[in-house]
A and B are shown apart, each in its own frame.
Chain A
Amino acid sequence: MERVLGIILSLISETDNSQNMNEFQNSKKPRSIKLEGSIVKWLFFACAAVSILTTIGILFTLFYQALSFFDEISVWDFLTGTRWTPILKPRSYGVLPLVSGTLLVTSIAAAVALPVGLMTAIFLSEYAPDKLRRILKPVLEILAGVPTVVYGYFALTFVTPLLQTFLDDLIIFNALSAGLVMGVMIIPMVSSLSEDAMIAVPRSLREGAYALGATRYEVSLRIVVPSALSGIIAAFILALSRAIGETMLVTIAAGATPRLTLNPMESIQTMTAYIVQLSLGEAPVGSLEYNTIFAVGLVLFAMTLMMNLLGFWFVRKYREIY
């Protein structure tokens, strides 16, 4: 996944230089060949347009269903309400508990993944010999490729019991263990994007510092990290956006009790976990419950979209510098 992101980022910041050799083309082709050529061109364009249609489809679906939700529940009540009980009476539709649950788990994940991921990136880019790096990178790639149900299983059946041995108050479903495991899960994303940014720092900057007598850690922390800062920030933002959208892990391990709390020992519910919970129950189409998941989905989509755009902006910034 983080490899894909790397490719995306490299594509975004490139200018298109595929202006081809049209002018050299022979204009005396038989008509059928020319016709074929122009038909396939439009076909390929249609394929590319599918991606635009997907975005329109997402926006349309989310807004269309969410609007019928907001016919009955005011946007203000939805965004500022502190109780989320759409299935139980008395019904209440304040999304804040779900948002706070998501942010709580994401913060715990960030506390693990950001420092560890950054230090991993420093080790890989500045310290590790080539041979070691060629072993470590695929191992981290595996970590990124493991399906998220597997992490859910791990959090629930291994990490939670382990934490319970020294945290007496910890209940089975809790934000802490889901957040910790999610942190490990997004380490590769932070590290590989940060490493890309560090590798882009020109050698001459490092050599200048070494020539002045700097040691390896001084070069790493005072030259490479500051120079790659916007790329590192981008890595942080994109990894957090991934954490916000992560679904199965929190559905399995973090619980199903929407609660406005900062206590990581308690059971909470994230936006994504709520969507899964309701999908499992086959809510009748067009009912208010059915529409809630699209309203929640809209909030989720808006949050991740803003973070992704911000992340891409930072990436573009560091690519402009070097």
Chain B
Amino acid sequence: MKSSNIDIKSQLVQRRKLRKFLGVFFYGLFLSAVLVGVIGLGVLLFEILSNGIPWINWQFLTDYPSRHPEEAGLYSAFMGTMWVMGMTAVLTVPVGVGAAIYLEEYAADNFLTRLIEINVANLAGVPSIVYGLLGMGLFVYWMGLGRTILAGAMTLSLLVLPIVILASREAIKAVPGSYRQGAYAMGADKWQVIKGVVLPSAIPGILTGTILALSRAIGEAAPVIAISALVYLTFTPTHPMERFTVLPIQIFNWIARPQDEFRSLAAAGIIVLLFILLVMNSIAVFLRNKYQIRSEE
């Protein structure tokens, strides 16, 4: 009896040791999993910076693409990106915010509303190249817009529309009910409440969401390739019905060449692209923080 008690006791001690060891082991395992992502990002950024920085200079930013790497620049791609993004913003924001207002403020709880909601969710998961096919078939050829900035902007705007709708809905939802009730109590009707109270308080959130959506669009190459194809442009667009290229496509073009110099140019282009994304995201974070402080007051 006594000896079996000691047996059990020593087994328990053993078991506790094992569990302690497993605790440390799993902690290490989970931590190293996190490090995979963090280190991956670190190596990626280091690779790009170390290859690209020597190639960044004023001429790189202001020159047109060239067959000679030391003369090549990304001016036409940069201007193309600015054109496409500007037009995408103009096309997306009204529609996205309008759809969000409808879903949050007007829509009844019925089949149609649920269909729209599920549909928006699904659209966010459609591969971007499929939007490229849509734009190519519908805008470029069927509507006859050609391989133009307008067709590219329309395609990208459909691509990011679900993101803008969802972000705007979140922003509208975050407006406190008491604001609305206050306005209704003053005799305002629904549209006046939306126009005068809901939208002004939701604007920072909507802006943040829109900037994040646009920063998704700026990095997209696949759907734009389907629209613009790979072109060699030595002019900058002056109106929406011209051909264009964008930064990710120019980068892709440089990566696809076998010479090392062009690979380094690609790294330099990536730095410019990442810098633009960094600026946009900083603005978004700034707006979000400012907005959060305001709503706490």
Contacts and interface: CB of A to CB of B under 8 A. Distances in A.
Interface of A: 1, 4-5, 7-9, 11-12, 15-16, 18-22, 24-26, 29, 33-34, 36-37, 40-41, 43-52, 54-55, 57-58, 60-62, 64-65, 112, 115-120, 122-124, 127-128, 136, 139-140, 142-143, 145-154, 156-158, 184, 187-188, 191, 215-218, 220-221, 238, 241-242, 244-248, 251-252, 272, 275-276, 279-282, 285, 293-294, 297, 300-301, 304-305, 308-309, 311-312
Given A44-B102, A65-B137, A153-B270, A37 B189 contact: yes
Interface of B: 19-20, 22-23, 26-27, 29-31, 33-34, 36-38, 40-41, 43-44, 47-48, 51, 94-99, 101-109, 113, 115-134, 136-138, 141-142, 158, 161-163, 165-167, 169-170, 180-181, 184, 187, 189-192, 215-216, 218-222, 225-226, 229-230, 248, 251-252, 255-256, 263, 266-267, 270, 273-274, 277, 281
A33 B138 CA distance: 38
A64 B121 contact: no
Contacts of B31: 123, 127
Contacts of A272: 127, 129, 222
Nearest to B226: A279
Contact of B22 (A45, A153, A217): A217
A36 to B, nearest CB: 6
B116 A21 contact: no
Contacts of A280: 225, 229-230
Contacts of B122: 55, 305, 308-309, 312
Nearest to A283: B229
**Residue in A24, A29, A272, A276 whose Cβ sees the most chain B Cβ within 10 Å:** A276
Contacts of A309: 122
A147 B285 CA distance: 19
Contacts of B130: 58, 62, 245, 297, 300-301, 304
Contacts of B167: 4, 7
Given A157-B267, A217-B27, A279-B132, 18 more contacts: A7-B166, A8-B162, A20-B105, A20-B180, A55-B123, A116-B33, A123-B30, A127-B27, A143-B40, A147-B220, A153-B48, A154-B47, A156-B255, A217-B22, A247-B129, A272-B222, A279-B136, A280-B229
A217 B31 CA distance: 12
Given A25-B190, A158-B47, A140 B37 contact: yes
A62 B129 CA distance: 12
B133 A241 contact: no
Going nearest first, the 4 A-B pairs with the smallest beta carbon separation are: A245-B127, A147-B219, A47-B98, A119-B33
B187 A26 contact: yes
A221 B220 CA distance: 38
Contacts of B107: 16, 18, 48
A151 to B, nearest CB: 8
A237 B30 CA distance: 22
A149 B34 contact: no
Nearest to B169: A11
A280 B129 CA distance: 13
Nearest to A248: B221
B37 A188 contact: yes
A8 B124 contact: yes
A300 B161 CA distance: 21
Contacts of B187: 26
A300 B129 contact: yes
Contacts of B190: 20, 22, 25, 37
A245 B129 contact: yes
Contacts of B23: 215-217
B189 A279 contact: no
Contact of B102 (A47, A188, A252, A311): A47
A219 to B, nearest CB: 11
A33 B106 contact: no
Contact of B161 (A9, A19, A54, A148): A54
**Residue in A33, A44, A57, A136 whose Cβ sees the most chain B Cβ within 10 Å:** A44
B46 to A, nearest CB: 10
Contacts of B117: 11-12
A301 B129 CA distance: 10
A149 B270 contact: yes
Contacts of B124: 4-5, 8
Contacts of A34: 189
A297 B134 CA distance: 10
A47 B94 contact: yes
Nearest to A60: B138
B40 A120 contact: no
A252 B256 contact: yes
Nearest to A279: B226
**Residue in B94, B113, B189 whose Cβ sees the most chain A Cβ within 10 Å:** B189
Contact of B44 (A4, A140, A154, A300): A154
B180 A21 contact: yes
A238 B125 CA distance: 8
A283 to B, nearest CB: 10
